[in-house]
A and B are shown apart, each in its own frame.
Chain A
Amino acid sequence: MCLAIPARVVQLLPSYRAVVDIAGVRKEISIDLVSDAQLDDYVIVHVGYAIGKIDPGEAQRSLALFSELAGSEGVV
């Protein structure tokens, strides 16, 4: 039920609306809840509303963390 997908903002429209690209599919959504969304930002879309924005730096850090060697967490 809480399913939501990452989508790239490809066009900003008036009244806090935007067009996003979801794996090649274009869809108009509301960015009323993430009003600072900019072109090319990735937002998390749930029932037609962006509810959050992806921080690309943090995503990269998570991926790096997944590849760390066992026992290397020492410095949390």
Chain B
Amino acid sequence: MKYIDEFRDGERARHIAAKIAAEVRADVSYSFMEFCGGHTHAISRYGIADMLPANVRMIHGPGCPVCVLPIGRIDLAIRLALERGVMLCTYGDTMRVPASDGLSLINAKARGADVRMVYSASDALKLAEQHPGREVVFLAIGFETTTPPTALVLRDAMARAATNFSVLCCHVLTPAAITHILESAEVRHLGTLPIDGFIGPAHVSIVIGSQPYEHFAEKYRKPVVITGFEPLDVLQGILMLVRQVNSGRAVVENEFSRVVTSQGNVTAQALVSKVFELRESFEWRGLGEIPYSALKIRPAFAAWDAERKFNLRYVSVPDHQQCECGAILRGVKRPADCKLFGTVCTPERPMGSCMVSNEGSCAAHYSYGRFRDTAVVVS
């Protein structure tokens, strides 16, 4: 496929890896956080970690919306489907997220709840129009990439007066989470967050542009390189970060220049701000409450806001006591440091947030890297 195959070329990958090896300084250790789950997945799947020198470490960040969706929000959706008889539509990613009482949306479906997996937010609105006698709720999750489609569907629902349709909005914001990683009390308390730079989001940045990251580069003196999701992009992004660290620079650079611009998609931004406003606080699974880190539906669209329509009250639910997702999402611990990893917590039966989606750092490590450090024994 054009614009994919040529960005996965092995020879070019080895060439960039050789440049990284040649340019890193032996006496410096480089720790870079890739914020996005898409990058985490690419780094594990394409063996990028193995192509890097020993003193370049990648820390997997919290940019997987399925992973950071708290149990309490899934509980709201499950109860709507089980107790209020709504037709609950959602992206496939959220179906298996473990919630309270051993339930997930897919288990709830097995118990008779009407849970529908949709490819697109517009499919949910279509279902509402096909079933005028039913209440249809779309569980909307995702970062800035996924928010504009939800905004369009809310606009269309209003225009078409689809009164049996509403959205349970769980959209979250990237810059707020990065600030939290850099500033949270836990990180200051633990004091061991060694981040020297960020691999900036690919598709989120198509929407928001490169400009919102300028703040991190300036205020925290951290280099940011916006990077595509293909393996050559990721390697080139790491090379650009190494070069910034070596020359003592901390600026925003754009490796993904074939799609990302400085301003981003202005049409999408205008639409999102017409339909959504900032939420004062939102709980992130593994990170806790983060102020102004999520969106809610504006009062003008209240009739299509499931939280208002069904008078939903959010109740926070703690994770498994031994789950280390919080520390892993902040880069303080690695997946293998968690007692639950690969034993009680596996991709088939995830306990914590990082194991839920294949973009989570634990799931990626389980699928592609868990035997990496095991010595090969030939009998």
**In the complex, chain B residues whose CB is within 8 Å of the CB of A53:** 259
A57 vs B143: C-alpha distance in the bound complex, in angstroms? Answer: 28
Contact of B4 among A6, A30, A63 (CB under 8 A): A6
Q: Which residue of B lies closest to A6 (CB)?
A: B3
Structural contact, B259 and A1, CB atoms closer than 8 A: no
> Given contacts A2-B145, A61-B257, is CB(A33)–CB(B357) below 8 Å?
no
Contact of B207 among A51, A65, A66, A70 (CB under 8 A): A51
Tell me, yes or no, whether A34 is within 8 Å of chain B by CB: yes
Q: B-side binding surface: helix, strand, loop or mixed?
A: helix
Contact of A70 among B19, B123, B145, B265 (CB under 8 A): B19
Structural contact, A55 and B149, CB atoms closer than 8 A: no
Least Cβ distance of A35 to chain B in Å? Answer: 7
> Given contacts A1-B357, A32-B152, A48-B119, is CB(A71)–CB(B22) below 8 Å?
yes
**In the complex, chain B residues whose CB is within 8 Å of the CB of A47:** 91, 119-121, 146, 149
Contact with B along A33-76 (1 / 0, CB 8 A): 11100000010101111011111101101110111001101001
Contacting chain A: which of B197-205, B284-292, B339-347, B369-377? B197-205
Tell me, yes or no, whether A13 is within 8 Å of chain B by CB: no
Least Cβ distance of B172 to chain A in Å? Answer: 11
Least Cβ distance of B93 to chain A in Å? Answer: 5
Contact of B359 among A1, A52, A62, A63 (CB under 8 A): A1
**In the complex, chain A residues whose CB is within 8 Å of the CB of B202:** 2
Tell me, yes or no, whether B379 is within 8 Å of chain A by CB: no
Contacting chain A: which of B10-18, B100-108, B216-224? B10-18
> Given contacts A4-B145, A46-B203, A51-B148, is CB(A59)–CB(B258) below 8 Å?
yes
Top-7 shortest CB links A-B: A48-B120, A52-B206, A59-B258, A6-B3, A58-B258, A2-B145, A2-B203
Some 9 contacts from A to B, beta carbons below 8 A apart, are: A1-B91, A1-B145, A2-B142, A3-B229, A6-B3, A33-B267, A55-B259, A63-B12, A66-B16
Known: A49-B152, A62-B257. 15 other contacts (CB 8 A): A2-B38, A4-B203, A5-B1, A22-B1, A30-B152, A33-B152, A33-B268, A42-B3, A47-B121, A47-B146, A48-B119, A48-B121, A62-B233, A63-B12, A65-B236
